[in-house]
Amino acid sequence: MLSKTIQEAINKQIKVEADSSQIYLAMASWAEVQGFEGISAFMYKQSDEERMHMLKLVKYANQRGGEAKIPNVIEPILDCSSFKALFTQLYEHEVMVSESINELVHVSLQERDYATHNFLQWYVSEQIEEEATARTILDKINLIGDDKGGLYLFDNDMKNFSGSQSGSM
């Protein structure tokens, strides 16, 4: 049975994951409108993954005798002035999600809820991968700079990137 404190913390994380899905969806839509197939495919996939992260938390809370709350979603406000700005936001968002997961892990230990602590280890590992992937993408964008040819190749590279990753980002 989940304590009230754990249930509230999980519901807070459900909101973080739902918002993450919306942010990636907005990024995907923007990239698609700009004609960047690879980047949009990557972002759509990320949006789906974040929704799956949310659903995993929803099911866990309900199965443990808690009650998952399905949150309102945000309308993402993005800086789409450049790909660097977009992917910088992505990286900063992943860092924030990691901090949120770490706080949830901390609460689970304070509450001596070792089942939840164990469950959350998947999220801890996932966030390490997601931050690393975002950092790698940002490094590639920094290498490209303002080179239009490089951006075209980057977009093509993202098609392969989104297909070769196994559950990361």
Please tell me whether 94 is known to bind a ligand.
yes
Please tell me whether 93 is known to bind a ligand.
no
For 33-53, give one letter per residue: b (16+ CB within 10 A) or e.
eeebebbbbbbbbbbebbbeb
Please tell me whether 99 is known to bind a ligand.
no
82, with CB counted inside 10 A (0-12, 13-18, 19+), is exposed
86: Cα within 13 Å, side-chain hemisphere: 19
Please tell me whether 63 is known to bind a ligand.
no
Please tell me whether 129 is known to bind a ligand.
no
Detail the residues annotated as belonging to a binding site for Fe cation. 17, 50, 53, 94, 127
Detail the residues annotated as belonging to a binding site. 17, 50, 53, 94, 127
